[in-house]
Amino acid sequence: DANVAGNVHGGTILKMIEEAGAIISTRHCNSQAGVSRCPSACQALFLSPMCIGEGANVSAEITYTSRHSVEVQVNVMSENILTGAKKVTNKATLWYVPLSLKNVNKVLEVPPIQYARKEQEDEGKKRYEEQKLDRLETKQRNGDMIYPIINPEPHTVGYSQSSLIHLVGPSDCTLLGFVHGGVTMKLMDEVAGIVAARHCKTNIVTASVDAINFHEKIKKGSVITISGRMTFTSNKSMEIEVFVDADPFVDESRERYRAVSAFFTYVSLSKEGKPLPVPQLLTETEDEKRRFEEGKGRYLQTKAKRQAEVQQA
């Protein structure tokens, strides 16, 4: 569950977060006969590290519903079971859509929730519109591919890029035979962590996840390729773009397709757990320079949001 420094892997925490979101959204939609859950997007902040031996408390709340989707806010708190000290380690927002059990391609309507204040509904609607726009922008990038580079120079994009191939088995899937969102996120975090560690050659930890977008479901028996590449570096953080491509191994009628995409941010730490400077990413092509500038914009937005959440926590 943890790295060599004793910090719990970001992917392990993401898996718990998604499980909590799936449970509460399923409970809410169960007023309609037979629905399953499918995550459509996720954003997460890692405010403080969780360590081996601590207890993890994951709490979830539905904060907005549209006609066909549910917004779930999840908080994670760690507890030192010897001293009783508690701290907020993670905050995340997930979006789910309800699917019919009889026809998994049919999206059902979501029962509305009652808001305590009109402002809560207005704020939720604003977040809903923002994530819809982000998903549209991400889909437009889905033609991108990551190809191997022969003898890359250190600290270039090609030097640290990594891929992992995984055969989707029954233990990865829901009762309907589709991959759990948390399983996918854990694999994505693993690949992103390898990219970050290759780039800086130090201990690394997940700082945030920006817009994990689930574009299409992944069936049991598929072969998935999780690929990651560095897109941006600041003085003390790294952004890694991660793709998940699915190859329907048992369904020869369908070609390989892009299933999931996301941006992960990592920080480099010393043996004492202190932030270390990150080697500057060397961009070589026009596409790499463009992605670097786009990453810089996301970095500034996430930094401001993170500071606000840390103060609140």
Active site residues: 3, 189
Q: Strands 203-214, 257-269: parallel, antiparallel or unpaired by DSSP?
A: antiparallel
Q: Is the dihedral of CA 287, 288, 294, 298 positive or negative?
A: positive
Give the Cα separation of 310 and 47 in Å (integer).
Answer: 6
Q: Number of H helices and number of E strands within the chain?
A: 5, 9
Strand-pair category, 70-79 with 86-100: antiparallel
Q: Distance between CA atoms of 144 and 258, rounded to whole angstroms?
A: 10
Q: Residue 100: which residues within 8 A CB-CB, separation 6 or more?
A: 34, 35, 36, 106, 107, 108
Shortest CA distance to 196 belongs to which of 1, 26, 11? Answer: 11
User: Given phi > 0 = left and psi -120 to 50 = alpha, else beta, which region is 211?
Assistant: left
Q: Which residue has the tokens 């699917």?
A: 99
